[in-house]
Chain A
């Protein structure tokens, strides 16, 4: 027994010493004459964004020996948590992945860390493709690409043709596909309904624009000019109810998550998939990917002619220098250099190929001719369809949560569109 205790004590001492040695090691790095840029990057070891980021930073540092990039690479929840933690304690990064809408820009706006890039905007960017973020046309971040389409209807053209069907032009066309699909044992539309945000961003955002005929209906509603209990909004929710009742979207889709959604489509288990344009790069099966057409929603019930054929697109997020980073000219310039490298033509083309963006925001950009088919079709959609607002760019917090949850309730038969509309209206006005 005594031997065990003694052994444990010695072991503990060793680990303790190792720990202290490491603590000491950390202090030494810092200043060796290099400009240090502290970056909060968005990416993950398992997706293209993260893999590319690591590569880009390595290449940038090799090309710029006087600059040292210290970054933290996080994704999803972890990213937002860390941003909040750092901003509240005053440990603000110099460069960060941010947006300018209610979802991505809120923490930075609250902490007054948004910095106007316009005076330092490099000539390589096409300013007309960058939407203004601030009240006086300020630009707070460089968007990854032109607008980020969130309501795409991916169609497996080969499978559709095999069943003797063709691309739907109206809601009735979709409804007519149900019997044939059932016979073949496939779903008409698959959607990752388990994720609340998917309903808001990838479905309702387009529906509300169609039923109201106003591409900016949502922002007006948040500002108080429209009510969520207006007929247009209730109609939009009703369409979702109809889709489920007519069997176009299976009720069990509320139990399908993002990964399963894409893999259902990749495995040919559905004719259509609902997601944002970023999912194009995730279709594993090359046979399916090459035969995928990207569509806007067909003509829907209650639709107004003004917004026919539109898709919802969110202002793109991207990297930007913070006010803290801009306060030191050397850091600011290094940060801008990194950003310009990140958005350079070669890198933007790579992102285009990977399917992460629709089109870069660079001046005189030549689209390469050897892009994957699915990327080309994405560009076609972006060029042909008009765009409308995405809901969670304007509606956040409790009302948005209630809305997303409400749609899931509608799909699983627990609530009616009118009830949900009333709840959202109530929470939005508090």
Chain B
């Protein structure tokens, strides 16, 4: 009797320590993960000047823009109208921000003179004005554009909208084939005869996992070049699929080996063809590993940079990481834009991640095995 009581109290103490340690580890992990991301997100809403002044402060300048100072400038080489000058011939007053990227022609507005009060329309280059002096519609437009300065610049200059679409296509199509072909090969290896051959295939495909992308970069480019597949969506998808197969086959075959053969035997006895057995019985049971492979593959492709940099040359085929990287140069002068681009690239992955978490957390397991 006493022995059991002592054993139980010992159990509680060590369990308590274990729990405390677990909490410490998990909470620190969370902080290390979240804090930098939090910084990145709120900093992407700051202007470059703000970031240079104080890199940790909360955003202010871009939002408190009711009274921003602007300078009137004359038309110049690097002042690019945002309207078609041939079609729209109304006279414009060109103003540039005096506080946000002054002098770089990045924050320039072309105000139609007709819509301005006469004293403003008569201003000469060099004069200053404040946004508070402008008519409300203009003030609101400028205010909105100021707040979204970093994100608009990132999207427009980096062509991120289109690159986003490309990333979705690459990740989606490649992952689909990685899962499909991976499961097929795994099924052949794990559940069908010809074990010697399977071992060979497994080794062959597994070997591919050991190959880093840098080492095959040049010859891969040569192969794709000779097939005429460089700078095409199809070529990039083929490459991603091929590189994603080893991991897929590895994980899926290990999972399938754990599934009892009895199920398939009974299916065969019932007269089902191999293909039927695969589709109706095995595939549904593999959903957990399909999700795992799917997420890992899609994620790897979404964030992949080197292969797509080399294989894609025109904006039509470039994907999001390349677009994001174009804001990260060593001598970059627009940290705000870079952070905005990083957020744009990270946000979708986060959204997908948080949506799929429920699937993973609930542990989707095919109904057939339990009990």
A–B touching in complex (CB under 8 Å): yes
Query: Given known contacts A82-B310, A282-B331, is B169 in contact with A18 (CB within 8 Å)?
Result: yes
Q: Give the contact stretch, choosing among A85-93, A99-107, A157-165, A171-179.
A: A85-93
| B284 sits at the interface (CB 8 A) | yes
Q: Which of A46-54, A130-138, A216-224, A412-420 contacts B (4 or more CB under 8 A)?
A: A46-54
Q: Is B80 interfacial (CB 8 A cutoff)?
A: yes
Bound: A84/B80 CA distance, A: 34
Q: Do B284 and A70 touch across chains, with their CB atoms under 8 A apart?
A: no
Given A26-B316, A81-B309 in contact, is the A44-B176 Cβ separation under 8 Å?
Answer: no
Set of chain A residues within 8 Å of B33, measured between Cβ atoms: none
Q: How far is the CB of B253 from chain A (nearest CB, A)?
A: 20
B327 within 8 A of A: yes
B169–A22 contact, CB under 8 A? Answer: yes
Within the complex, which residue of B80, B157, B168 is in contact with A45, where a contact is CB–CB below 8 Å?
Answer: B157
Q: Which chain A residues numbered 122 to 162 have a C-beta less than 8 Å away from chain B?
A: none
Interface residues on chain B, number (Cβ under 8 Å): 56
A45 touches B53 (CB 8 A): no
Known contacts A19-B169, A91-B230, A267-B53; A46/B326 CB under 8 A = yes
The digit string for B328-350, where 1 denotes a CB below 8 A from any CB of A, is: 11111111011000000000000
Which of B88-96, B107-115, B217-225 sits within the interface? B217-225
Partner of A44, one of B217, B283, B306, B332: B332
- Measured in the bound complex, the distance between the Cα atoms of B218 and A372 in whole Å is 46
Surface stretch bound by B, among A72-80, A181-189, A292-300, A307-315? A72-80
Interface centre among A44, A73, A75, A78 (most CB of B within 10 A): A44
On whether the beta carbons of A22 and B52 are closer than 8 Å, the reply is: no
Interface centre among A45, A267, A281, A285 (most CB of B within 10 A): A45
| Chain B residues within 8 Å of A4, by CB | 287
How many residues of A are counted as interface, with CB atoms below 8 angstroms from the partner's CB atoms?
61
Instruction: Name the residue of chain B whose CB is nearest to the CB of A54.
Output: B157
Tally inter-chain residue pairs, CB-CB below 8 A. Answer: 138
Contacting chain B: which of A248-256, A258-266, A386-394?
A258-266
Judged by a CB distance under 8 angstroms, whether A63 is at the interface is no
Q: Which residues of A contact B306 (CB under 8 A)?
A: 81
Q: How far is the CB of B228 from chain A (nearest CB, A)?
A: 10
Residue numbers in B under 8 Å from A18 (CB-CB):
169
Is A55 on the interface with B (CB-CB < 8 A)? yes
- Distance to closest chain A CB from B167 (angstroms): 12
* Complex interface: chain A residues within 8 A of B338 (CB): 46
Asked if A72 and B173 sit within 8 Å, CB to CB, the answer is: no
Is the CB of A284 closer than 8 A to any CB of chain B? yes
Neighbour of B330 across the interface among A76, A81, A85, CB < 8 A: A76
Docked-complex contact B333 and A282, CB < 8 angstroms? yes
A413 to chain B, nearest CB (A): 26
Question: Nearest-CB distance from B272 to chain A (Å)?
Answer: 16
Contacts of A90 in B (CB 8 A): 225
Q: Are A85 and B329 in contact (CB under 8 A)?
A: no
Answer yes or no: B237 CB below 8 A from chain A CBs.
Answer: yes
CA distance A143 to B138 in the complex (A): 44
Structural contact, B313 and A22, CB atoms closer than 8 A: no
Q: Give the contacts of A223-273 with B (CB-CB under 8 A).
A: 258-259, 263, 266-267
CA distance in complex: A30, B173 (Å): 27
Which chain B residue shows the least CB distance to A264?
B52
User: Which B residues are in CB contact (< 8 Å) with A84?
Assistant: 218
Q: Does B262 contact A (CB under 8 A)?
A: no
* Chain A residue with Cβ nearest B311: A85
Q: B304 contacts the other chain (Cβ, under 8 Å)?
A: no
| Contact in complex: A75, B80 (CB < 8 Å) | no
Known A-B contacts A45-B157, A45-B337, A46-B337; the reply to A263 vs B52 at CB < 8 A is yes
- How many whole Å from B280's CB to the nearest CB in chain A? 9
| A23–B232 CB distance below 8 A | yes
List, sorted by A's number, 29 A–B pairs whose CB atoms are closer than 8 Å.
Answer: A1-B287, A12-B173, A19-B233, A19-B237, A26-B231, A45-B154, A45-B158, A46-B326, A47-B331, A51-B157, A55-B80, A72-B313, A73-B326, A74-B309, A75-B329, A81-B310, A82-B310, A88-B218, A88-B221, A258-B330, A259-B335, A263-B52, A267-B53, A282-B333, A284-B48, A284-B333, A347-B77, A350-B78, A372-B103
